[in-house]
Structure 1
Amino acid sequence: MSVPHITGVKICGLTEEAGFDACVEHGADWIGFVFFARSPRFVTPQRAASLAARGPGRAKTVGLFVHPQDEDIARVLEHAPLDILQIYASDARAQDVAHRFGLPVWLSIPVAGREELPTSCPVQRLLIEPRPPKDATRPGGNAQKLDWSLLAGWAPAFPWMLAGGLRPDNVAEAVGVTGVPAVDVSSGVESAPGIKDPALIASFVQNARGVREG
């Protein structure tokens, strides 16, 4: 008998205690902190460390960086205990970061069509998301939804994750259409930019995994 797949869940852009505690309570696999100043979800290394201390070891911590220099990452790691580095960068730069810091690296891959889907993974995981609007001030976290049909039947041999426009009311459909092993949400579980809603977090995790209470 095959064991049913349990969809991995990452909640990104935590800035406050209630949201962090909800991620831990409802069993998120990864909790993300954004170290990109243009984002409304930006946190300092010290703030990330303070939040992470509320639930050590209960979920893996992911630090998101946009085209970072080594010193940017090192400055964060002096304070915040990150398990994973998620970056926007080239394949070669992502490999450099993995080698330099000895941590798993996830590489964000914005796509607009099936022909842009990657055929190999230079690091530990790829994060597939829609290309940002031309006038966007940040490469991700724009609440855009990818056309999931682009991913139907796509079954790469490497770990990957889906992001972009996911919410509690559509994540089950996204998982069903794409067969994705893990999902990433930020604005879809917020009551305001950077402020997570515990009830939405609970619903998102439950729906991503096909779990219902009661």
Structure 2
Amino acid sequence: MTLPVKICGLSTPETLDVTLDAGADMIGLNFHPKSPRYVTPDQAAALAARARGETRIVALVVDAPDSLLAALRKAVGPDLWQLHGSEPPARIASLRASQAGLAMKAIGVSEAADVARVADYAAVADHILLDAKPPKDALYPGGHGRTFDWTLLKALGPAQPFILSGGLTSENVGDAIATVRAMGLNLAGVDVSSGVESAPGVKDPAKIRAFIAAVRAASSDTSSA
């Protein structure tokens, strides 16, 4: 079985269409104003309407107030909320109770203590996404095109499913998948944003296709090994 692929930070109909044609399982729409991948609710609504029924729609928010979530729920109707800020577990539980859609909690990783935080969220989040921790002076969260030490994830054990993100590209995603699966971990998908761009916020159609093809090839290789 091939791994689910999420292409995050889409902002144009053209690159969305390429993503859908290439077979992405999830698309991410970024609602953090400081990100170069930011889309307005109106832009996102048009993209979501184009994608609905073809893939799962993920709304990426950072410490968002209930008023913004309610507006996005009405305009965009996401299938999942990706919480990419400093939201505590109680906030995840509250969001799941008050908003339609599942919750994906993103956790930045640079050391073992970050991996240990997964246990705090596992009971309240529907999905866990593990990303590289951003630089201390970063204006927005996320991996900023950087990978992290995947061997840190060994502490998770085989029972905890997670989606891997952070600096992935078509060139290294096969190694990432092989490394994680060799540790017996429950890899539930991969996520990419800057790794399929020609410039910050500018998605590259050829890179999108190459990334998804690389994941499919690596999934096939590891499942038949």
**Is the pair's TM-score, using the shorter chain for normalization, greater than 0.5?**
yes
Task: Name the residue aligned to 2:223.
Answer: none
Give SS of 1:53's match. Answer: helix
Say which of 169, 173, 176 aligns to 1:174. 176
Unaligned runs of 5+ in 1: none
Task: Name the residue aligned to 1:65.
Answer: 61
Task: Name the residue aligned to 2:139.
Answer: 137
The letter for the 1-side match of 2:134 is: P
The two structures have a TM-score, normalised by structure 1, of 0.91
The two structures have a TM-score, normalised by structure 2, of 0.87
Say which of 2, 7, 10 aligns to 1:6. 2
What is the distance in 1 between the residues matched to 2:156 and 2:216?
20
| Contact map agreement 1:153 1:178 (CA 8 A) in 2 | no
- For 1:108-123, list aligned pairs within 5 A: 108-117=106-115, 118-119=118-119, 121=122, 122-123=124-125
What is the distance in 1 between the residues matched to 2:155 and 2:107?
18
Task: Name the residue aligned to 2:205.
Answer: 198
Task: Name the residue aligned to 2:19.
Answer: 23
The CA deviation string for residues 83-140 of structure 1, in whole angstroms up to 9 with x for no partner, is 1000121111111111111320000111222343123502101111121111111121
| Contact map agreement 1:141 1:186 (CA 8 A) in 2 | no
Task: Name the residue aligned to 2:157.
Answer: 155
The CA deviation string for residues 159-209 of structure 1, in whole angstroms up to 9 with x for no partner, is 311111001100111111013221110010011222211111111011112
Distance 1:26 1:55, change over 3 A: same
Larger helix proportion of the pair: 2
What is the distance in 1 between the residues matched to 2:193 and 2:38?
12
| Contact map agreement 1:129 1:163 (CA 8 A) in 2 | yes
Instruction: Provide the aligned length of Structure 1 versus Structure 2.
Output: 208
CA drift at 1:156? 4.4
The CA deviation string for residues 37-89 of structure 1, in whole angstroms up to 9 with x for no partner, is 00000001110111122232110000000001110111112211211000121
Distance 1:115 1:35, change over 3 A: same
Distance 1:77 1:141, change over 3 A: farther
Asked whether 1:52 is paired with 2:48, we answer: yes
What is the distance in 1 between the residues matched to 2:194 and 2:62?
18
RMSD: 1.7
The letter for the 1-side match of 2:55 is: A
What is the distance in 2 between the residues matched to 1:136 and 1:56?
32
Higher mean C-alpha displacement, 33-42 vs 144-153: 144-153
| Contact map agreement 1:12 1:184 (CA 8 A) in 2 | yes
Which runs of 4 or more aligned residues in structure 1 lie more than 3 Å from their structure 2 counterparts after TM superposition? 152-156
Give SS of 2:75's match. Answer: coil
Say which of 24, 31, 34 aligns to 2:30. 34
| Contact map agreement 2:146 2:167 (CA 8 A) in 1 | yes
Distance 1:211 1:198, change over 3 A: farther
- For 1:80-99, list aligned pairs within 5 A: 80-87=76-83, 88=85, 89-99=87-97
